[in-house]
């Protein structure tokens, strides 16, 4: 039962688990009482969550549990009915320059007239600033981030000519170009090939090594314990949160997924507890 | 008419005509750019609602000018009225769209027709007024550069220049919002404001284009050039500048023709010029034009025939397809008797290995392979990243070891 409240209503206190952090470093993300409503239907209900100061955090939960909505609400992309969000100990609006974002691949029109390199350069816009054009040295820098994901040979391809995995790598390179302290990634591993998957996990490990925090909406329960340090289990409420080895238990998952996980699905997992 | 047109096109038709033509070209450039961003933000047709929504404002501006300064025909009054009612149109489209019952297309249709109807009623009211100088208003429907005053032409040119400068300064920001508004907002860019700016640029183009192009057809100056430009470029900046160039050329030629033939309204002439440029782009643009696409289709068939012929050679089957035979013979990969030559055999081995990798890709990543337009059309190394090819290679070898092949 560690890391989880006895009922969905009273979980808030349990999320303030001691995570072994030095008290003077603020958590990467702290949310209290977050509620989001779509069209009168609640999508997230009274979520309170305190993240670690660094490391890789998987956000898991059944379909429709509000995983993407959680990211978007934290980033201010969807309006919140109530609740407070702090990133790196400050209101979200103050630290925009230190936040990186990888939206879902389906969020954009891939027939847009732009190349892989130009998309990666968008990650530099924040530092280039208002009204200033993208210069040659910016493109040279963008090219290096493209190389980090093994895509430098495709720099001048129109993005619609890339495969799904390649498009995802371009999105990841754009986020790397943001050089953020905290990253939010929305299902970066959905529908990608194995080579892209290992590139993405390599990058995640590198970000962890550099002391950054990555929140990653993740659908594949199989790979959670192998690749992530912390987990946040959502089912409209914050169901459980904490280090993978304490929270990612068969009992928690079974309950969060409403008993809909087949025994086979569970037995394949490397679970804790 | 041709005799008069040439000197005008060469800017020798007198100062007034020259200024009108230059103003039209600058209006076109501004329109091509603003229109590009509207098109890429998928809001191109909102510009049609905006342009039709100017008509009531044009009439009310005329009436207001009549009250305040005693003469209706005052361009500043009329343009201010047009801008205000255009903004009202944008806000209404947005409200109707947000009600969640109608899509943006129906919202546009409702607003467009209502404003246009209201404008026509006001226009016929104005025509009953005993004032001279109302004749200019009908010109705003379809555009009339003939008889444009010098100060009007200069005003249009300067306003177009302002729009151009604003668009160029904010090029990077506008492009970002058009491509990925969520990423932009997460990065702290004011997406709503930039969206509003795109619509304001479009409104600006519409308002200053009233005299030259007319409100009925200005949508063409906003939409056709970027649509044509998409055939020419795969990057944003060249695409937008191509759109500006096409629009400037169309507006310039249209204004010049209309100036030499006073009975010809400018708008239709401009639209026809633009349509010709669009058709030309559609047919002859390199890479994306239809002609090139036809040639590519034939090449594509030849590539397939050649590859299938080589695969047949590699497995020592006879090459049955006539096109494959012709291609292999011509390449010297097969002799007249249908046997592979030495060169043909080594080429066949290369293609066989490549095909095995493509097949592995299809088996392991079916969705990516389905989406890959170049599946087995080129050598896999030219299409997929090296790490992925290496992985496929490893798996192919593994699979063939398992089945005891090779």
Per-residue pLDDT of A173-225, as tens digits, reads: 999 999 999 999 999 999 898 889 999 999 999 999 999 999 999 989 989 99
- Mean of pLDDT values over B363-370: 82
- Give the lowest-confidence range in A176-180, B12-16, B283-287: B12-16
Option in A77, A108, A112 nearest B186 (CB):
A77
- The pLDDT value recorded for residue B403 is 78
Percent of chain A at pLDDT > 90 equals 72
Interface contact B101, partner A, CB < 8 A: no
CA distances from A251 to A13, A226, B244, B318 (A): 20, 19, 62, 63
pLDDT of residue A112: 97
pLDDT reported for residue A52? 94
Best-predicted range by mean pLDDT among B58-72, B94-108, B118-132, B158-172? B158-172
Which residues of A are less than 8 Å from B364 in CB distance? 193-194
Could you tell me which of A53, A10, A46, A14 has the C-alpha nearest to residue A31? A46
Task: Round to whole Å and give the CA distance between B277 and B229.
Answer: 10
Between B56 and B263, the more confident residue is B56
Task: Tell me the C-alpha to C-alpha distance, in Å, between residue B325 and each of A252, B5, B49, B140.
Answer: 65, 58, 58, 65
CA distance B53 to B83: 9
Residue range(s) occupied by CATH 1.10.3470.10 in chain B = 2-271
* A245, B339, B373 from A167: Cα distances, Å: 33, 44, 14
Query: DSSP H helical segments within B41-149, as ranges?
Result: 46-69, 75-98, 104-128, 139-142
pLDDT in tens, B69-103: 887 778 889 999 999 999 999 999 988 888 777 88
* pLDDT higher than 90, residue B59: yes
β-bridge partners, A232: A59, A241
> For A7-16, A28-37, A95-104, A247-256, which range has the lowest pLDDT when averaged over its residues?
A7-16
The encoded tokens of residue A210 equal 């550099």
User: What is the rounded average pLDDT of the residues B134-144?
Assistant: 79
- Distance CA(A104)–CA(A172), nearest Å, equals 11
Total count of residues recorded for chain A: 273
User: Is B234 in contact with A130 (Cβ distance < 8 A)?
Assistant: no
Class of domain B2-271: mainly alpha
A231 has which bridge partners?
Answer: A58, A242
Nearest to A165 among B170, B234, B368 (CB): B368
pLDDT of residue B197 exceeding 80, the answer is: yes
> Has residue A1 got a pLDDT over 60?
no
Predicted confidence (pLDDT) per residue in A93-132, tens digit: 899 999 999 999 999 999 999 999 999 999 999 999 999 9
Residue B353 burial (CB count, 10 A): 15
| pLDDT above 50 (res A147) | yes
**Does B213 or A175 have the greater pLDDT score?**
A175
CA distances from B19 to B137, B150, B155, B231 (A): 21, 8, 10, 31
- The rounded distance, in Å, linking the Cα atoms of A192 and A163 is 9
State residue A8's pLDDT score: 37
pLDDT at A272: 67
Tokens 């906003």: give the residue. B222
Q: Which of these ranges, A105-114, B13-22, B304-313, has the smallest mean pLDDT?
A: B13-22
Question: Which phi and psi angles does B341 have, rounded to 5°?
Answer: -85, 175
Which residues does B168 contact at the CB level (< 8 Å), separation at least 6?
Answer: B33
Residue of B170, B177, B385 to mutate, interface with A, max A Cβ within 10 Å: B385
Is residue B399 scored above 70 in pLDDT? yes
Checking if the pLDDT of A4 tops 50, the result is no
What is the Cα–Cα distance from B299 to B316, expressed in whole angstroms? 25
Name A14's Cβ contacts closer than 8 Å, sequence gap at least 6: A3, A4, A5, A240
Say yes or no to pLDDT of A78 above 90. Answer: yes
Q: What is the number of alpha carbons within 13 Å of residue A18 lying toward its C-beta?
A: 3
Residues B239 and B232: beta-carbon distance below 8 Å: yes
φ, ψ for residue B108, nearest 5 deg: -65, -45
Q: CB of B161 within 8 A of CB of B26? A: yes
Mean pLDDT in chain B?
89
pLDDT mean across residues, chain A = 88
Q: State mean pLDDT over A66-81.
A: 94
pLDDT value for B198: 97
Question: Which residue is closest to A147 within chain B, CA to CA?
Answer: B385
Which chain A residue has the Cα nearest residue B387?
A195
**A1-88+209-273 sits in which CATH class?**
alpha beta
Task: Give the residue among A195, A268, A234, A53 at the shortest CA–CA distance from B360.
Answer: A195
**What pLDDT does B150 receive?**
83
The whole-number pLDDT of residue A3 equals 43
| A233 vs A272: CA distance, rounded Å | 14
**pLDDT of residue A7 exceeding 70:** no
Residue A120 burial class via C-beta count within 10 angstroms: exposed 0-12, middle 13-18, buried 19 and up: buried
Cβ atoms B46, B107 nearer than 8 A: no
Given a cut of 60, whether residue A13 has pLDDT beyond it is no
pLDDT of residue A251 exceeding 80, the answer is yes
Q: Which residue of B has its CA nearest to A151?
A: B385
C-alpha–C-alpha distance, residues A5 and A255, integer Å? 12
> Is the pLDDT reported for residue A9 higher than 60?
no
How crowded is residue B348: how many other Cβ atoms within 10 Å of its Cβ?
24
- Chain A (112-171) residues lying within 8 Å, Cβ to Cβ, of chain B: 112-115, 118-119, 122, 125-126, 128, 130-134, 150-151, 153-154, 158, 161, 163-166
Contact state of B187 with A101 under an 8 Å Cβ cutoff: yes
CA atoms B396, B399, B401, B404: torsion sign: negative
A window 34-63, beta carbon within 8 A of B: 39
Report the range of poorest mean pLDDT among B241-245, B350-354, B401-405: B401-405
A197 touches chain B (CB under 8 A): no
**Which secondary structure element, helix H or strand E, spans residue B159, and what is its range?**
helix B150-169
Q: What are phi and psi of A233, to 5 degrees?
A: -95, 120
Question: Comparing B47-61, B207-221, B255-269, B293-307, which segment has the lowest mean pLDDT?
Answer: B255-269
**For residue A27, what is the DSSP state?**
P
Domains of chain A: which residue ranges?
1-88+209-273
Portion 276-315 of B in contact with A at CB < 8 A: none
Pairing of strands A213-217, A230-235: unpaired
Q: Does B3 or A208 have the greater pLDDT score? A: A208
B140-160 mean pLDDT: 84
How far does CA B69 lie from the centroid of its chain? 42
pLDDT for A226:
94
Q: Is the pLDDT of residue B39 over 90?
A: yes
Percentage of chain B exceeding pLDDT 70: 96
Q: Which ipTM value was assigned to this complex?
A: 0.90
| pLDDT score at B96 | 87
User: Does the pLDDT value for residue B124 go beyond 70?
Assistant: yes
Other CB atoms within 10 A of residue B99 CB? 8
Q: Give backbone dihedrals phi and psi of B117, rounded to 5 degrees, phi first.
A: -60, -50
d(CA A28, CA A180): 12
pLDDT over threshold 90, residue A151: yes
pLDDT at residue A258, as a whole number? 80
Task: State CA A47 to chain mean position distance.
Answer: 17
């Amino acid at each position: 039962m560690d890391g989880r409240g006895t009922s969905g209503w009273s979980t808030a206190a349990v999320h303030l688990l001691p995570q072994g952090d030095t008290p003077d470093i603020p958590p990467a993300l702290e949310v209290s009482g977050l509620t989001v409503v779509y069209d009168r239907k609640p999508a997230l209900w009274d979520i309170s969550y305190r993240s670690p100061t660094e490391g890789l955090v998987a956000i898991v939960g059944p379909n429709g549990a509000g995983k993407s909505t959680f990211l978007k609400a934290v980033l201010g992309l969807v309006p919140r009915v109530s609740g407070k969000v702090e990133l790196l100990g400050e209101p979200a609006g103050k630290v925009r320059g230190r936040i990186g974002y990888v939206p879902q691949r389906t969020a954009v029109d891939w027939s847009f007239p732009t190349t892989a390199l130009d998309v990666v350069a968008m990650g530099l816009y924040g530092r280039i600033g208002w009204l200033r054009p993208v210069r040659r040295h910016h493109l040279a820098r963008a090219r290096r981030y493209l190389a980090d994901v093994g895509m430098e040979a495709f720099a001048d391809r129109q993005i619609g000519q890339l495969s799904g995995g390649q498009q995802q790598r371009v999105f990841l390179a754009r986020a790397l170009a943001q050089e953020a302290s905290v990253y939010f990634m929305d299902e970066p591993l959905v529908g990608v090939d194995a080579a892209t998957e290992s590139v993405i996990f390599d990058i995640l490990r590198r970000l962890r090594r550099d002391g950054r925090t990555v929140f990653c909406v993740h659908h594949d329960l199989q790979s959670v314990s192998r690749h992530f340090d912390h987990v946040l289990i959502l089912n409209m409420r914050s169901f459980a949160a904490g280090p993978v080895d304490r929270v990612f238990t068969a009992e928690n998952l079974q309950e969060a997924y409403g008993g809909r996980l087949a025994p086979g699905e569970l037995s394949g997992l490397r679970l804790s507890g | 008419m041709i005799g008069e047109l040439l000197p005008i096109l060469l800017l020798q038709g007198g100062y007034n005509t020259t200024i009108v033509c230059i103003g039209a070209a600058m209006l076109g450039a501004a329109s091509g750019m603003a229109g590009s961003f509207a098109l890429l933000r998928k809001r191109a047709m909102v510009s049609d609602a905006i342009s039709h929504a100017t008509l009531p404002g044009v009439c009310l501006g005329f009436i207001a000018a009549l009250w305040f300064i005693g003469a209706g025909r005052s361009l500043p009054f009329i343009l201010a009225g047009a801008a205000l009612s255009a903004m009202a149109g944008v806000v209404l489209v947005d409200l109707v769209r947000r009600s969640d019952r109608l899509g943006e297309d129906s919202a546009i249709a409702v607003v467009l027709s209502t404003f246009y109807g209201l404008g026509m009623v006001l226009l016929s009211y104005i025509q009953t007024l005993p004032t001279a100088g109302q004749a200019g208003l009908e010109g705003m429907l379809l555009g009339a550069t003939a008889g444009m005053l010098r100060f009007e032409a200069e005003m249009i040119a300067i306003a177009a220049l302002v729009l151009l400068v604003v668009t160029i300064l904010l090029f990077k920001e506008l492009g970002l919002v058009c491509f990925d508004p969520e990423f932009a907002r997460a990065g702290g860019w004011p997406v709503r404001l930039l969206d509003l700016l795109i619509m304001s640029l479009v409104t600006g183009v519409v308002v200053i284009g009233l005299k030259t192009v007319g409100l009925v057809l200005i949508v063409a100056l906003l939409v056709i050039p970027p649509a044509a430009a998409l055939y020419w470029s795969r990057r944003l900046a060249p695409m937008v500048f191509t759109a500006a160039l096409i629009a400037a050329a169309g507006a310039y030629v249209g204004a010049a023709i209309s100036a030499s033939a006073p009975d010809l309204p400018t708008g239709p002439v401009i639209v026809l010029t633009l349509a010709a440029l669009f058709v030309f782009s559609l047919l002859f643009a390199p890479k994306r034009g239809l002609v090139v696409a036809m040639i590519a289709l034939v090449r594509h068939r030849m590539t397939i025939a050649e590859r299938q012929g080589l695969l047949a050679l590699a497995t020592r089957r006879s090459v049955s397809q006539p096109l494959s035979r012709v291609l292999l013979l011509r390449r010297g990969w097969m002799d007249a008797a249908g046997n592979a030559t030495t060169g043909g055999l080594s080429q066949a081995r290369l293609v066989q290995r490549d095909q095995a990798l493509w097949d592995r890709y299809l088996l392991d990543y079916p969705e990516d392979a389905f989406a890959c337009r170049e599946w087995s059309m080129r050598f896999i190394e030219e299409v997929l990243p090296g790490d992925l090819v290496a992985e496929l290679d490893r798996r192919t070898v593994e699979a063939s070891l398992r089945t005891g092949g090779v």
